[in-house]
Structure 1
Amino acid sequence: MNTKDWLIQDLKEDWLEDRAVKAEKNNKIDKGFYKQYDIKQGLRNSDGTGVVVGFTKIGSVHGYTYCDGVKTPIEGRLFYRDIEIDDLIKNAGKFGFESIVYLLLFGELPDEEELEKFNVILDGFRKLPPHFTENTILNSPSRDVMNKLQRAILVLYSYDDYPDSLDINKILIQSLKLIAGFPTIIAYGYQAKAHYFDEQSLYLHNPVDGLGTAANILHMIRSNNKYTKLEKDTLDLLLILHAEHGGGNNSAFTTHVVSSSGTDTYSAVGAAVGSLKGPKHGGANLRVKSMVDNIKENLADYSDKEELKKYLERILMGEVFDQKGLIYGMGHAVYTKSDPRAVILKEKAKELAAAKGRMEEFELYHNIENLTKEIFKEKRGDDCIICANVDLYSGFVYQLLNIPKELFTPLFATARIASWCAHRIEQLVSDHKIIRPAYKSLNNEEKCTIR
């Protein structure tokens, strides 16, 4: 680099730094305006409930009752197509997740014969198009598997003869191909990342017919292809628990918003993946893992409840860990007394931890849950209610399954893709208006108008 280039580089850095300050300053909205004009930040009402913007028949989340202006906490309940999650888990067979995919898409559970036919169709779509793996995944690896997944989805548009069709039969085929293909894409995306950036051996295993989604994932990400029935059943449970969570979660709402414009399936699902990639949504269990790792590093005996409680209080005060003042894995936007997903997953985590000889770690998560509840009651009163959410235990279960952290959020996407496709179809057949919220202008001449 010559002298001129160095001067230009220095000038560019100084210029950008100065403009970054201007950009931040001139785009900052005074928080007082939100209260003054009753703006629903985050599409939330003042009491924390979500602003109702539409209808859905796909799933529902219950964490409180609301009557005559009074919000009353209740034990959390989760429904897929009006069937409670506990009942779905109890009756889940060998292909539990596949039956849930069928339920979300078609509105009813399949019988044994129909499920067998459905699995044959999914098996037919698990392998990626010719040359796709080499050209799209291996030749351009990404350090982030969610980034690779999003790019791969958009590339699949080019392999579709009718990518822009809004006919439901075409959209259904696109949906099934994406649902079946997600496990293969994330497995190969991870292998490419591990090979090119972490200098690990590259091995690609083709999906196997008849295994189902959970078993195929374990088959494709492990070098020896081996897994136990308990491991397969646990991952199948995780996929079921993450498959749907109502239309109000960020990624499902993203699917509705983008689909309302009339765009293609690949763009809508790609946008949903981008939403889930955010640490406030799909990446939350990674924050739990980081917090727990920090606790292990700083406490000589993390089984000592008194010392653990003191450290959690320091985390909450913003003195240690990431200094954000948050205990990750605790609290939820809708659930109050309990998150049914966390309740179910906690039992499976305990079973798996016992089988793996890691009960001491399980007790750490259990203690974080109980001690955080104590801390909140002490600081905010006995009426303060907070519960563990699914993220407190999901990351731990992934670790027990020897799943690399790079795949935590992609596995969430692999579960949620069925819901996104169902919400896209629901939007297209039920609501033909483009979603267009209003933002109030704070320019001087427009302070009294909303457009």
Structure 2
Amino acid sequence: MTNFKQIDRKILADLSKVSEKNSFINPELYSKYQVKRGLRDLDGRGVLVGLTEIGEVHSYILDEGEIIQVPGRLIYRGYDISDLVKGFTEDDRFGFEETAYLLLFGHLPNQKDLEEFNQVLAGYEKLPEDFARDFILKSPSKDIMNALARSVLALYSFDTNPDDTSINNVLKQCLHLIACFPSLAVYGYQALSHYHGNQSLFIHSPRPELRTAENILSMLRPDSNYTKLEAKLLDLALVLHAEHGGGNNSTFVTHVVTSTGTDTYSAMSAAIGALKGPRHGGANIKVVRMFEDIKNQVKDWEDDEEIERYLTQILTKDAFDRSGLIYGIGHAVYSISDPRTVILKDYAAKLAREKGLDNEFNLYTSVERLAPGVIAKFNKMYKTVSANIDFYSGFVYKMLNIPVEMYAPMFAIARIAGWSAHRIEEIVNAGKIIRPAYKSVAQRQNYLDLSERI
């Protein structure tokens, strides 16, 4: 048996080399055939592939055909995100639920609408009987995003009408997923912590009188305790992550998969798979790990020159993970500023003061200030770069004592609201299955009989 495994590894290694070699495409061909890699033009503008009324990401204006970079704006259903945040924070209330309502139904709820919506979500929070035990605890995953996707697919089996794509049924399914995503994610983490980390197992049920952010902290912590500022900051993070236009990868996946006519559970599990990737929802983990490295290597956190030297080493692939990337700096759309970062940074500063982490927060602000200049010295850029939301969100989650394994799932808990709105929008406006073109650049070959092949 051991010998077979050794042979199997060798065969696999050889086949891998063949597969890699024959999958390579000359990069020059992408320019020759004007392929929009990443569905983006060379000047950074996205290739228009659809229309939406749900979210808008604004980062430039056109003046006589010239792109003029402007401070970034994020707009939900016509409302600027800064106005939405100002509204619920000044009223000292939670904002994620009314944000989800806005994204789904296109208008801000009044007091009665919001109370009824919260009641609906509370009614959908409960998982099917024995679901946590049979589908989460009995088969703990080492990755919570995979556990979350598996749980979503498993819920298909408990739906009496899972393939009905009428708006009434899809809305019901989406509301259920929005409501139960916190439980699915947190229970997935508790199973991981217990069975793979030898920690005590805590399973707290969601409480209907609590809002989403409060329930997450309550279910995640052994004693279920949290401060008001902690819950408000987590709620803010959920609001800022809830939607980002139709072109972000996981939302585009939602549109693509929905356009096939498939069920809600399949579409949402596909979106989770997209969000899991380190280039998308997993980016804030990289930021936190990069800063742990910076804190260990930079002796004086207030010395700009020392920080710049180390950022240069990261950029030249001589430090950290040797990728040449300063994580959390730069965005596919935003240039001068990411509005989510601007908002989250202010509230992160408040929590840092409460936690006694001012020095670490100041290090973040120094890197945010210095990194664009360091990058500009080494890379040819078509636009300005600035800190994106991943730059501070990981730091916020760390201050909230949220385990790193939960960072990407936190993103999913928020973004399911946006995915749900986009799925409904795609169904309502569906015309064709989304199928972009790929040009084959393979050479034609003559068939050879098996006996003639080398």
Residues 40-94 of structure 1 show CA distances to partners (whole Å, capped at 9, x for unaligned) of 1111112121110010000000011134431111010000000000000011152
Deviation at 1:373, TM superposition (A): 2.4
Residues 151-171 of structure 1 show CA distances to partners (whole Å, capped at 9, x for unaligned) of 000000000011000110000
Distance in 2 between residues matched to 1:33 and 1:379, nearest whole Å: 26
Distance in 2 between residues matched to 1:89 and 1:238, nearest whole Å: 10
Q: What is residue 84 of structure 2 aligned with on the other side?
A: 88
8 Å CA contact retained: 2:315, 2:375: no
Letter of the 1:421 counterpart? S
8 Å CA contact retained: 1:377, 1:384: no
Distance in 1 between residues matched to 2:10 and 2:208, nearest whole Å: 57
Equivalent residue of 2:273, what SS? Answer: helix
Q: Percent of counterpart pairs with the same letter?
A: 52
| Structure 2 runs not aligned, ≥5 long | 446-454
Q: What is residue 124 of structure 2 aligned with on the other side?
A: 125
> Does 2:33 align with 1:34?
no
Structure 1's consecutive aligned runs of 4 or more residues displaced over 4 angstroms after TM superposition are 377-384
Deviation at 1:374, TM superposition (A): 2.7
Q: What is residue 412 of structure 2 aligned with on the other side?
A: 413
8 Å CA contact retained: 1:331, 1:388: yes
Deviation at 1:280, TM superposition (A): 0.2
Q: What is residue 371 of structure 1 aligned with on the other side?
A: 370
Q: What is residue 449 of structure 1 aligned with on the other side?
A: none
> Does 2:290 align with 1:291?
yes
What pairs up with 1:208-247 in 2 under 5 angstroms? Answer: 208-247=207-246
Letter of the 2:359 counterpart? E
Letter of the 1:152 counterpart? S
| Structure 1 runs not aligned, ≥5 long | 447-451
Q: 2:40 aligns with which of 30, 44, 51?
A: 44
Deviation at 1:226, TM superposition (A): 0.5
Q: What is residue 452 of structure 2 aligned with on the other side?
A: none
Distance in 1 between residues matched to 2:200 and 2:206, nearest whole Å: 19
8 Å CA contact retained: 2:94, 2:232: no
Letter of the 2:384 counterpart? I
Residues 78-135 of structure 1 show CA distances to partners (whole Å, capped at 9, x for unaligned) of 0000000000001115231000000000001110111001101101111111010100
> Does 2:69 align with 1:73?
yes
Letter of the 2:103 counterpart? L
What pairs up with 1:163-312 in 2 under 5 angstroms? Answer: 163-312=162-311
Deviation at 1:184, TM superposition (A): 0.6
Distance in 2 between residues matched to 1:21 and 1:178, nearest whole Å: 42
Give the RMSD, CA atoms, in angstroms. 1.4
Q: What is residue 431 of structure 2 aligned with on the other side?
A: 432
8 Å CA contact retained: 1:238, 1:345: yes
Distance in 2 between residues matched to 1:134 and 1:339, nearest whole Å: 41
Deviation at 1:378, TM superposition (A): 4.5
8 Å CA contact retained: 1:291, 1:328: yes
Distance in 1 between residues matched to 2:349 and 2:236, nearest whole Å: 14
Deviation at 1:379, TM superposition (A): 4.8
Larger displacement relative to structure 2 (59-68 or 379-388): 379-388
Q: What is residue 324 of structure 1 aligned with on the other side?
A: 323
Q: Structure 1-normalised TM-score?
A: 0.96
Q: What is residue 100 of structure 1 aligned with on the other side?
A: 99
Equivalent residue of 2:243, what SS? Answer: coil
Distance in 2 between residues matched to 1:96 and 1:263, nearest whole Å: 31
> Does 2:4 align with 1:8?
yes
Larger displacement relative to structure 2 (207-216 or 381-390): 381-390
Larger displacement relative to structure 2 (382-391 or 281-290): 382-391
Q: Residues 376 and 16 (structure 1 numbering): CA distance in 2 closer, same or farther, change over 3 Å? A: closer
Distance in 1 between residues matched to 2:268 and 2:382, nearest whole Å: 41
Equivalent residue of 1:203, what SS? Answer: coil
Deviation at 1:209, TM superposition (A): 1.0
Equivalent residue of 2:119, what SS? Answer: helix
8 Å CA contact retained: 2:317, 2:323: yes
Equivalent residue of 1:63, what SS? Answer: strand
Larger displacement relative to structure 2 (215-224 or 68-77): 68-77
Equivalent residue of 1:91, what SS? Answer: helix
Letter of the 1:62 counterpart? H
Residues 229-254 of structure 1 show CA distances to partners (whole Å, capped at 9, x for unaligned) of 10010000000000000000000000
Q: How many residues align?
A: 442
Q: Residues 384 and 51 (structure 1 numbering): CA distance in 2 closer, same or farther, change over 3 Å? A: closer
Deviation at 1:7, TM superposition (A): 2.4
Letter of the 1:270 counterpart? S
Letter of the 1:266 counterpart? Y
Residues 247-275 of structure 1 show CA distances to partners (whole Å, capped at 9, x for unaligned) of 00000000000000000000000000000
Q: What is residue 448 of structure 2 aligned with on the other side?
A: none
Equivalent residue of 1:373, what SS? Answer: helix
Equivalent residue of 2:46, what SS? Answer: coil
Equivalent residue of 1:426, what SS? Answer: helix
Q: What is residue 134 of structure 1 aligned with on the other side?
A: 133
Deviation at 1:6, TM superposition (A): 2.5
Deviation at 1:11, TM superposition (A): 1.2
